[in-house]
């Protein structure tokens, strides 16, 4: 078995600046001249004199010095470029380090500011939650107080309405009592139906109609203008409100008309012996200024 030979790498020529400077041997020029002239080596050596050899050696020495100066100058240029590049790199590195320090300082300050702002936000959030809870509690308390005050206001309105109704009723009763007192100076004398105020006439008429309807289903006769109204009837009418007078027929004591509720027509002008007069009943209690009878 035959092994394959390793492939050779292609030759790569180095650039001119990296090529080595090869010094030619002192006899190279002589060989070149001999090769040009075609004379043998021994004859060329014999034909050259010492002066010519010294001259050739000096030329080669000058050529070598020139090449050495070029190489030295090139090396110095490269060193100078290297130093300049190194200085630039060091300058850029210093600037980069300064910028890095600045960025680190900024980052540190931003981090501290962020931490402080986060702490402040947490404190503000806690305070806000506390204020919200307090506001909720205050709102609930205010709602409860509003409900309480609304109920109290409704109760006060109802009380005011009731008091206004009572005040109106007492005012009407006082007016009726004053008008009744102005009819006659005597509190114990029976009054004519025509002399009573209109409101009191209506109240007396309703009271008598309700009592007569409870006693008999027959229609009640109308009251004459000259009929005499006993003081006890007026006192009983003024004691109860009008709404209660309508239900007086259902009470047990109002089964039949009382003897004091009987009207007798009396002619107060002549006083003739033939006229009928109502028998003197028990003395009715006097009326107080509010219109109710005092016992």
Residue 128 predicted with pLDDT over 50 = yes
In terms of DSSP bridges, do strands 228-229 and 191-192 run parallel, antiparallel, or are they unpaired? antiparallel
Give the pLDDT mean for 166-192: 73
Residue ranges in 216-249 assigned as alpha helix (H): 231-239, 242-246
- By C-alpha distance, which of 281, 272, 269 is closest to 229? 281
Rg (CA), the chain: 74
pLDDT digits (tens, 9 = 90+) for 189-242: 666 777 777 777 788 788 777 766 666 655 555 666 667 777 677 777 776 554
pLDDT digits (tens, 9 = 90+) for 50-104: 888 888 899 999 999 999 999 999 999 999 999 999 999 999 999 999 999 999 9
**List of residues 6+ apart from 176 with CB closer than 8 A:** 197, 199, 200, 238, 291
- Cα–Cα distance measured from residue 242 to residue 247, given in angstroms and rounded to the nearest whole number: 9
């Amino acid at each position: 078995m035959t092994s394959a030979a390793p492939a050779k790498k292609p030759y790569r020529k180095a650039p001119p600046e990296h090529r080595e400077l090869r010094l030619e041997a002192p006899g190279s020029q002589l060989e070149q001249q001999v090769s040009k002239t075609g004379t043998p080596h021994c004859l060329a050596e014999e034909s050259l004199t010492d002066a010519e050899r010294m001259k050739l050696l000096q030329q080669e020495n000058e050529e070598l010095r020139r090449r050495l100066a070029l190489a030295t100058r090139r090396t110095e240029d490269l060193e100078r470029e290297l130093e300049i590049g190194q200085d630039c790199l060091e300058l850029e590195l210093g600037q980069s380090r300064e910028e890095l320090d600045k960025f680190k300082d900024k980052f540190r300050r931003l981090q501290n500011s962020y931490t402080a702002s986060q702490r402040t936000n947490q404190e503000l959030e806690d305070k806000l939650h506390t204020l919200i809870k307090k506001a909720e509690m205050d709102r609930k308390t205010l709602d409860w107080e509003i409900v309480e005050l609304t109920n109290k206001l409704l109760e006060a309105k109802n009380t005011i309405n009731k008091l206004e109704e009572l005040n109106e009723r007492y005012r009407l009763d006082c007016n009726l009592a004053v008008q009744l007192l102005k009819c006659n100076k005597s509190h114990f004398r029976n009054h004519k139906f025509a002399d009573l105020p209109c409101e009191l006439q209506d109240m007396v008429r309703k009271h008598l109609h309700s009592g007569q309807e409870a006693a008999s289903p027959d229609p009640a006769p109308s009251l004459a203008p000259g009929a005499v109204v006993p003081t006890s009837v007026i006192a009983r009418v003024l004691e109860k409100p009008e709404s209660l007078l309508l239900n007086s027929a259902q009470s047990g004591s109002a089964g039949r008309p009382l003897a004091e509720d009987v009207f007798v027509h009396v002619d107060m002008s002549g006083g003739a012996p033939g006229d009928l007069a109502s028998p003197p009943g028990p003395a009715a209690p006097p009326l107080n200024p509010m219109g109710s009878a005092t016992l």
